[in-house]
Amino acid sequence: MTIKKITEINITGKRVLIRSDLNVPIENGIIQSDARILAALPTIKLAIKNNAKVIVMSHLGRPKEGCYTKKYSLLPIFQYFKKIFTNTKIHFSDNFLDGIQLNTGEIAILENTRFNEGESQNSDNLSKKYSNLCDVFVMDAFGSSHRIESSTYGIGKFVKIACSGLLLINEINALKKALKKPKRPMVAIIGGSKVSTKFNILDKLGKIADTIIVGGGIANTFLAIDYKIGKSLHEPNFIFEAKKLREKYNIIVPIDSRIGKKFCKYEKSTIKLPNDIKEDEEIMDFGDESIKKIVNILKKSQTIIWNGPVGVFEFPNFRKGTEIIAKTIAHSKAFSIAGGGDTLSVIDMFNIKNNISYISTGGGAFLEFMEGKKLPAIHMLEENFKKQIT
């Protein structure tokens, strides 16, 4: 992989467009987790320190493309930045495609890229307009690096200089460390609702991990191989694929579960064995014996990869499995790497971010990198680098 890094380019006085990942949860205009913003700040601060004209762009949520939707505006993020950069002049721009005026050492936060028609279609016209905003484009949104969109990929075709930011490089280096020569035993924890979206990553990790622990709807699909699991979230069409994975790899599924009859915040939990689950009940967390078994595995691990909660952690009565596993990882001496939006929420909930070796801001990108796929944004940076040296 040969790409330019922001630290290798003279950006003083230049218009530097940074594609960050500021896709954070916002409720009623209030940011619920600033993990991705904090991860994006080092690159932005570096550009300010070098007296660049700094332009920051990001998507937020999934609005209807080309249409302004207040709940998906980056205005709350702009307000957040004003509190961080108290000695820096900061602008907010929702009308920037024909150009933006900025002085050195100033920051402009652009409105949601997905309000621009053609963003998700990787429109050449929109990509050109983005490229005209800057002298240097910095791709620093690892969480969006698996998407072929105008602000993450198409711009590289038209801008003269494209390079990686500090976050993107750190992400790649940490993930490579976990995958290439991991200290053993190596354990992967894969949670979430759908085994179908994580089939490839389970297969990839099965080849390099000593143990895979599955949780959430994914674990339920594995349990459905042998048991009737009531109305638990699972994918009947992928039971056969799950069985093939179980035959190939050391996959740990829950031996008991916390179940409820209603999917609601204050539903009471009951611990049951898989063959005792009734038709009107659903699995929503690990049971105590499953938790004990997994804690023992994690305590012996030297490398831990964690993607996704193992239960409905948003509900107090179905949080125990995720909480104990999260805190066990945090207190472990293993090299731990965690990724995924829900995983970041768990880390914030239990205040353990300082105890995880590396926290990836990516969800889909995290998984695709783990699968061994070439991320489109990395390909774009490699191609742009070739243009720079010819």
| Residue indicated by tokens 């354990």 | 187
Task: Say how many residues make up the chain.
Answer: 390
Cα separation, 108 vs 95, in Å, equals 12
Q: Which two tokens stand for residue 337?
A: 């790497």
Cα separation, 93 vs 294, in Å, equals 49
Q: Is residue 365 part of a domain?
A: no
Query: Is 36 annotated for ligand binding?
Result: yes
Q: Is residue 46 part of a domain?
A: yes
Cβ burial 77-112 (10 Å sphere, 16+ → b, else e)? bbebbeeebeeeebbbbeebeeebebeebbbbbbbb
320 plus 260 within the same structural domain: yes
Residue 166: closest CA among 334, 31, 77, 50: 50
**Cβ atoms within 10 A of the Cβ of 280, count?**
9
Residue 126 phi, psi (nearest 5): -70, -40
Query: Is 114 annotated for ligand binding?
Result: yes
Q: How far is CA 12 from CA 48, 50, 105, in A?
A: 9, 5, 9
Q: Is residue 138 part of a domain?
A: yes
Residue 356 phi, psi (nearest 5): -100, 130
Q: Which two tokens stand for residue 190?
A: 């894969």
305 plus 257 within the same structural domain: yes
Cα separation, 348 vs 375, in Å, equals 27
pLDDT in the model for residue 5: 96
Residue 137, classified by CB atoms within 10 Å of its CB into exposed (0-12), middle (13-18) or buried (19+), is: buried
> Which residues lie closer than 8 Å to 113 by C-beta, 6 or more apart?
57, 58, 59, 119, 149, 150, 151
What is the tally of structural domains in the chain? 2
90 plus 149 within the same structural domain: yes
Residue 192: closest CA among 224, 245, 235: 235
318 plus 226 within the same structural domain: yes
AA identity, residue 23? N
In this structure, are residues 174 and 213 in contact, taking their beta carbons and an 8 Å threshold?
Answer: no
DSSP state of 5: B
Report cis status (omega within 30 of 0) of the bond before 185. Answer: yes
Cα separation, 180 vs 106, in Å, equals 40
Q: Is residue 348 part of a domain?
A: no
Residue 365, strand partner residues = none
13 plus 159 within the same structural domain: yes
19 plus 82 within the same structural domain: yes
57 plus 100 within the same structural domain: yes
Range of the domain at 384: 6-167+374-388
| Residue indicated by tokens 């305590």 | 299
The SS3 assignment for 175 reads helix
Q: Is residue 121 part of a domain?
A: yes
200 plus 82 within the same structural domain: no
Locate the DSSP E strands across 152-204.
Answer: 161-164, 186-190
List the 270-272 sheet strands across, edge first. Answer: 270-272, 257-260, 282-286
Q: Is residue 346 part of a domain?
A: no
In this structure, are residues 230 and 258 in contact, taking their beta carbons and an 8 Å threshold?
Answer: no
**Cβ atoms within 10 A of the Cβ of 62, count?**
11
pLDDT in the model for residue 1: 63
Query: Is 191 annotated for ligand binding?
Result: no
Cα separation, 125 vs 307, in Å, equals 36
25 plus 156 within the same structural domain: yes
Query: Is 62 annotated for ligand binding?
Result: yes
Q: Is residue 92 part of a domain?
A: yes
157 plus 196 within the same structural domain: no
User: Any idea which residues carry the catalytic annotation?
Assistant: 36, 194, 341, 364
Cα separation, 268 vs 94, in Å, equals 47
pLDDT tens track of the chain, all 390 residues? 689 999 999 999 999 999 999 999 898 889 988 889 999 999 999 999 999 999 999 999 999 998 999 999 999 999 999 999 999 999 999 999 999 999 999 999 999 999 999 999 999 999 999 999 999 999 999 999 999 999 999 999 999 999 999 999 999 888 887 778 889 999 999 998 777 778 888 988 898 899 999 999 999 999 999 999 999 999 999 999 999 999 999 999 999 999 999 999 999 999 999 999 999 999 999 999 999 999 999 999 999 999 999 999 999 999 999 999 999 999 999 999 998 878 888 998 999 999 999 888 887 888 888 878 889 999 999 999 988 877
Query: Is 98 annotated for ligand binding?
Result: no
| CA 135 to centroid of chain Cα atoms | 28
67 plus 197 within the same structural domain: no
Q: How many CA atoms lie less than 13 Å away from 309 in the CB half-sphere? A: 24
40 plus 148 within the same structural domain: yes
In this structure, are residues 253 and 219 in contact, taking their beta carbons and an 8 Å threshold?
Answer: yes
Query: Is 61 annotated for ligand binding?
Result: yes
Query: Is 246 annotated for ligand binding?
Result: no
CATH number of the domain enclosing 59: 3.40.50.1260
Q: What is the DSSP string of 256-320?
A: SEEEESS-STT---EEE-GGG--TT-EEEEE-HHHHHHHHHHHHT-SEEEEES-SS-TTSGGG-H
Q: Model's pTM, two decimal places? A: 0.82
Q: Is residue 296 part of a domain?
A: yes
pLDDT in the model for residue 285: 97
